[in-house]
Amino acid sequence: MATRMKLKLKTVFVLYFMVSLLGLIYALMQLGQRCDCTEHDIPKDRTISRLRGELHRLQEQIRKSEATKQPQKPPARQPTVFVITPTYARLVQKAELTRLSQTFLHVPQLHWIVVEDSPHKTPLVTDLLVKSGVTYTHLHMPTAKDRKLQEGDPSWLKPRGVEQRNEGLRWLREDRRAQPGGDNQQGVVYFADDDNTYSLQIFEEMRSTQRVSVWPVGLVGGMKYERPVVEGGKVVRFHTGWRPSRPFPMDMAGFAVSLKLVLSNPEACFDGEAPMGFLESSFLQGLVTMDELEPKADNCSKVLVWHTRTEKPKMKRRGGSARSGTGFRPCGGGLRDTHTHTHNHTHTHIHTVKRTLLFNAA
Ligand SMILES: *[C@@H]1O[C@H](CO)[C@@H](O)[C@H](O)[C@H]1NC(C)=O
Ligand SMILES: *[C@@H]1O[C@H](CO)[C@@H](O)[C@H](O)[C@H]1NC(C)=O
C-alpha cells in the first residue's frame, strides 16, 4: 500500500517536472520568435516610412502639376480651320463631296465653306451638306463665261475655282468682321479642292499656323511629291518639277494661311489672269516671304495630302447622261434634273448651318 502511494507520488512528480519543462521550452521558443520578429520589424519600419515619404512627395507633385494646369482649366478653344472648297457639277461630284465631308467629320473645329461654280445653289450639294453633319456654309458663284473651260479644253488652260475661292474669302472676311476680336481672331484658312485626299493629321499640323504654313503635296506636277526644302527649320527652296523660279511654286493643297493674315489683308485674293502656275503665288505674294513660311509635317518630310485625280467615268449608254458640266446630276436622281435648270439669279446666298459635330457625340 505504502509503496504504491510512493510510486504514484513519483509519477506525479515526474509528470509535473515534464510539464514544467515543456512549458519552459515553449516559453523559450516564444521568446526566440519574438526576438526574430523585432529583428525583422526594423527594416519593415524603414520601408514603410520610406514609402510614406514617397507617397507624400508624389502627392505634392500632383498638387503642383494641378496648380500649374489651373490657368488652362477652361480649355483654350483650338483655332477653327476654315476650309474653302470650290466645286462644280460633274459625274463624280457627289462621290468627291461625300468622301471629303466624311474626312471632315473627323476633324474637330472645322468650318467647311463650299462654293459652287453655279448661278444658283444646286439641290445635290444642298442635300449633301444638310445631311453631312459638318459645320458648313454653302455659297455659289458662277465662273465668268469667258473664263470657263470649254468641253475638250485641257484642265490646265485656265485656272479653275478662282472666282469660287475668292467668293469664299469674301464671305469669310465679311462673316468674321461681325465677330468679336476684329482682325485678331484665331483661325486658319485652307483651300481644299474636292478631288484631293487629306490625312486627318494635316489639319492638326496647320492649326498652329501663325502666318503661312507649308508642307509637301503628293502626286502633283508629274512627280511623286513636291515639297518645300527645309534647312535649319527654314524653307530655303522648293523641290518641284516645273518652274521652281515662281515666287511660291506650291500646289493649292500645300499651304494654309492664318485667319489673322486674311483679315488684315482684305485685298489679298486669287488672280484669275495670273500666268499658268502662278495662281498660288498671286495670292501669297503680298502676304508672306519665303523666309517667313512655317514648315509643317516634320520639316516638310512627310506627305499628308495627295493631289489625287478621280478618273472621268466613261458612260457606255448615252441615255442623255454623258454630258458633263451642263447641270445634269446623275447621282442626284433624274427627278432633280428639272430643278437644276430653273434659273435663280439671286446673288450669293449665305446660309450657315451649325450642327454638332458627330465627332463630339461619339
Ligand atoms: C526641324 O528642324 C529644326 C532645325 O534643324 C529642328 O530644330 C526641329 O526640331 C525640327 N522639327 C521637327 C518637327 O523635326
Ligand atoms: C432663289 O434662291 C432663294 C434663296 O435660296 C430662294 O428664296 C428663292 O425662292 C429662289 N428662287 C427660285 C426661282 O428658285
Which pLDDT does position 297 carry in this prediction? 98
* Cβ atoms of 256 and 189 closer than 8 Å: yes
Of ligand 1's listed atoms, the one at least distance from the Cα of 299 is 1
Map out the domains of the chain as residue ranges: 81-146+155-314+321-361
Q: How confident is the model at residue 80 (pLDDT cuts 50, 70, 90)?
A: very high
| Crossing angle of the two packed helices 93-104 and 123-132, in degrees rounded to 10 | 20
Kindly tell me the burial class for residue 294, based on how many C-beta atoms sit within 10 Å of its own C-beta (0-12, 13-18, 19 or more). Answer: buried
Q: How confident is the model at residue 231 (pLDDT cuts 50, 70, 90)?
A: very high
Q: How confident is the model at residue 2 (pLDDT cuts 50, 70, 90)?
A: low
The highest-confidence range among 82-86, 315-319, 345-349, by mean pLDDT, is: 82-86
Q: Which of 299, 300, 301 to mutate to test the pocket of ligand 1 (most atoms within 8 A of CB)?
A: 299
What one-character DSSP code corresponds to residue 52?
H
Interacting residues of 261 by C-beta distance below 8 A, sequence separation 6+: 211, 212, 268, 287, 288
Q: How many CB atoms lie within 10 A of CB 322?
A: 14
Which pLDDT does position 190 carry in this prediction? 98
Of ligand 1's listed atoms, the one at least distance from the Cα of 295 is 1
Name the residue among 353, 358, 234, 356 with its Cα closest to residue 293: 234
Q: How far does residue 349's CA lie from ligand 2's centre (Å)?
A: 9
Q: How confident is the model at residue 104 (pLDDT cuts 50, 70, 90)?
A: very high
Q: How far does residue 39's CA lie from ligand 2's centre (Å)?
A: 93
- Of residues 321 and 96, the one with the higher pLDDT is 96
Calculate the average pLDDT of the chain.
84
Q: How confident is the model at residue 3 (pLDDT cuts 50, 70, 90)?
A: low
- What is the per-residue pLDDT across 157-211, written as a single tens digit (0 to 9) for each? 678 899 999 999 999 999 999 888 878 889 999 999 999 999 999 999 999 999 9
What percentage of the chain exceeds 90 in pLDDT?
56
Which amino acids bring their CB within 6 angstroms of ligand 2?
Answer: 342, 344, 346, 349
Tell whether the model's pLDDT for residue 34 goes beyond 90: no
Residue with the smallest CA separation from ligand 1 atom 6 is: 233
Distance set, CA 296 to CA 123, 126, 215, 327 (Å): 38, 34, 5, 39
Interacting residues of 39 by C-beta distance below 8 A, sequence separation 6+: none
CATH code for the part of the protein at 81-146+155-314+321-361? 3.90.550.10
Q: How confident is the model at residue 303 (pLDDT cuts 50, 70, 90)?
A: very high
- Of residues 5 and 73, the one with the higher pLDDT is 5
Q: How far does residue 251's CA lie from ligand 1's centre (Å)?
A: 23
Of ligand 1's listed atoms, the one at least distance from the Cα of 231 is 5
Q: Which residues are known catalytic residues? A: 280
Q: How far does residue 296's CA lie from ligand 1's centre (Å)?
A: 10
Q: How far does residue 346's CA lie from ligand 2's centre (Å)?
A: 7
Residues in the chain: 362
Of ligand 2's listed atoms, the one at least distance from the Cα of 343 is 13
C-alpha grid cell, residue 37:
520578429
What percentage of the chain exceeds 70 in pLDDT?
79
Q: What is the pTM of this model?
A: 0.67
Q: Whose atoms come closest to the Cα of 123: which ligand?
A: 2
Residues 302-307, mean pLDDT to the nearest whole number? 98
Which amino acids bring their CB within 6 angstroms of ligand 1?
Answer: 232-233, 298-299
Q: Whose atoms come closest to the Cα of 347: which ligand?
A: 2
Q: How confident is the model at residue 355 (pLDDT cuts 50, 70, 90)?
A: very low
